[in-house]
Structure 1
């Protein structure tokens, strides 16, 4: 585990010098030091890091839940919901069509719909901060689209989990889906109406007790969620959602941040361990098609969002390129697909797709002024310095 941390950190620092995001570098570290690559093998069996990887996934979604608030949907209004819905319709729809065209299977197509349809919140946030665009006019709709994606993801995973785990006919599938949705609704009701009670339970000035309390709650609910057929990551997300509205929310975010980063790195590293580089050439064609399709759909979504908000060409390009990266959510789906024993080509495909877009997304966002030139109309003053 120590070697995994050090290897991921060294590679990420080297990549940071040329402006690359950390997620693909953590995955690359796992690929290079795993059992499927010639040379030094740091971890011979990916299952050795399975529990730590699961904890990383739980903490990633728990933190995301802390950042999300029920009021976010109301504050964004109709335009935010419309922009997010348009983005999902274009990208998830294209992903589903692509999945069926691959001929890998129906369940595989459903996984690919989510993989191609959901942006990486971690990379999107990092892009906005690194490029100094937090106060830009297009940032609010970008974050609004991310919020809508998060809500969609929670529901989608709740429905997808029982379908991937296998069922004995339509009746069994419906029963499992109903069981999962009922538990999800119970957690949502607790997040909506139980904030005061939950806040009292976690109200302590002792940081040690607070860490033990929220970590225990997140992991416990994640485990119970799996028993009800809801993905463990979504259970952790709902716990974060509950705690995000309490008086302890800011302290919890501060305390969980280093835990999220550390064990999140192990999650991405462990995913890399499971990838055989020899399998990547066999999916190079589908990866190239999927990347091209995602770029086209993001351009269309960026133009549609710009029209809804009366933006010029510069913000349209920045919306399209900022939301281009794919990351943690795609890998969550890859992990679920592998556990369900789906087509073995899914894992190398998702790894290649994420690696390409996780690198291409930030690079394109930093040079988003190129997209502005393809939209007809008079040059906009906002284009000056848009790529900086």
Structure 2
């Protein structure tokens, strides 16, 4: 574990000198020091870091919940639902078509629809933090799409499990989906009307007690969420949503910050451990086609979300690039597919696809201005800005920020 922290730190320090984001470097450290790469293997079995990795995911989404205030949901709930539904329709739909065209089977196509359709909540969260965009107007639809995706994720997993395992009981699938949705509804009700009581329970002047309390709450609810068929990450997000609206919210954000960064690094390192570079050549063309398809669908989805919110090309490019990365959900699907005995090409395909987008996503997000110039209205905006530059020296528009 110490070696994992140090390796991630060394690579991240080297990368920062040339302007590379930390996420792909943490993943690269896991690949280089994992069991699938020649040389020193710090970790022989990726499962040895599984619990620490899950804790990193929980803390990343818990922090995201702290940032995402209930007022945001109240004010823009309908727009968020429409933007999230549009994103899912475009990306999951494209993934399903791709899955059938690649010809690996119907169950495999359903798995690929989820792999290509759902963004990585952990990477999206880290990208927003690293780029300093948490306060930007377009961050609301980005976070809204993540919430819609996570709700869809819970229902999708519940419905997909009996299908890919060969079960023929629709009633059982319906019960699992109902259980997941019911628990999500319970969390939403508590977040909406129970924050006053929660605030009184969590309140304390002692930082030590506050850390133990919020950490215990986040991890416990994440575990219970998973038991009900809801992603542990969305459970942690809902706890952050509740606690962020209490009087202790700001202190909790300060106290969880170093925990989030440390265990978040372990999450991405463990992600790299699971990737075997030797399996990638056999599926290189399907991977490249899927990556290109995802790039196109994300640009379209970014434009749609920007239109819903009345944003211009800059925010549209930020939305498209921030949501580009794929990660933990795809790996969950890869595990489910392997357990169900589906096509053996799925695992290396998912690994290669996720690796490319996990690297490309943060890089593209940091350079979204390039994409903005290519979108409708982007070049006109650039020309207008340059023609008025002398009279607007020192000013910075909200959209540019």
Q: Tell me if both proteins adopt one fold, taking TM over 0.5 as the criterion.
A: yes
Q: Distance in 2 between matches of 1:313 and 1:361?
A: 18
Residues 319-368 of structure 1, C-alpha deviation per residue, up to 9 Å, x if partnerless?
A: 43344333455456556666776655444333322332233334434263
CA 1:161–1:84: 2 relative to 1, 3 Å: closer
**Is residue 2:265 matched to residue 1:265?**
yes
Q: Distance in 1 between matches of 2:313 and 2:351?
A: 32
Q: What residue number does 1:154 align with? A: 151
Q: Distance in 2 between matches of 1:228 and 1:319?
A: 31
CA 1:199–1:317: 2 relative to 1, 3 Å: closer
Q: Distance in 2 between matches of 1:342 and 1:349?
A: 13
Displacement of 1:234 after TM fit?
2.6
CA 1:322–1:172: 2 relative to 1, 3 Å: closer
Q: What residue number does 2:65 align with? A: 65
**Is residue 2:370 matched to residue 1:369?**
yes
Residues 3-27 of structure 1, C-alpha deviation per residue, up to 9 Å, x if partnerless?
A: 0111111112222222222222222
Q: What residue number does 1:164 align with? A: 161
CA 1:302–1:92: 2 relative to 1, 3 Å: same
Bigger shift: 320-329 or 285-294?
A: 320-329
Contact 2:68–2:143 (8 Å) recurs in 1: no
CA 1:17–1:320: 2 relative to 1, 3 Å: same
Displacement of 1:79 after TM fit?
4.7
Gapped regions of structure 2 (runs ≥ 5): 390-398
Q: Distance in 1 between matches of 2:309 and 2:332?
A: 32
Contact 2:291–2:353 (8 Å) recurs in 1: yes
Q: Distance in 2 between matches of 1:194 and 1:18?
A: 47
Superposed, 1:1-388 pairs within 5 Å as: 1-76=1-76, 79-120=79-120, 123-124=123-124, 139-161=136-158, 163-164=160-161, 166=165, 167=167, 169-308=169-308, 312-331=312-331, 333-334=333-334, 343-365=343-365, 366=367, 368-369=369-370, 372-373=373-374, 375=376, 379-381=380-382, 384=386
SS of corresponding position for 2:101: helix
Q: Give the TM-score taking structure 1 as reference length.
A: 0.85
Q: Distance in 2 between matches of 1:224 and 1:86?
A: 30
Displacement of 1:310 after TM fit?
5.3
Contact 2:133–2:139 (8 Å) recurs in 1: no
CA 1:342–1:70: 2 relative to 1, 3 Å: farther
Q: Give the TM-score taking structure 2 as reference length.
A: 0.83
Q: Distance in 2 between matches of 1:49 and 1:26?
A: 14
SS of corresponding position for 1:236: helix
CA 1:345–1:8: 2 relative to 1, 3 Å: farther
CA 1:76–1:387: 2 relative to 1, 3 Å: closer
RMSD: 3.2
Gapped regions of structure 1 (runs ≥ 5): none
CA 1:180–1:131: 2 relative to 1, 3 Å: closer
CA 1:272–1:306: 2 relative to 1, 3 Å: closer
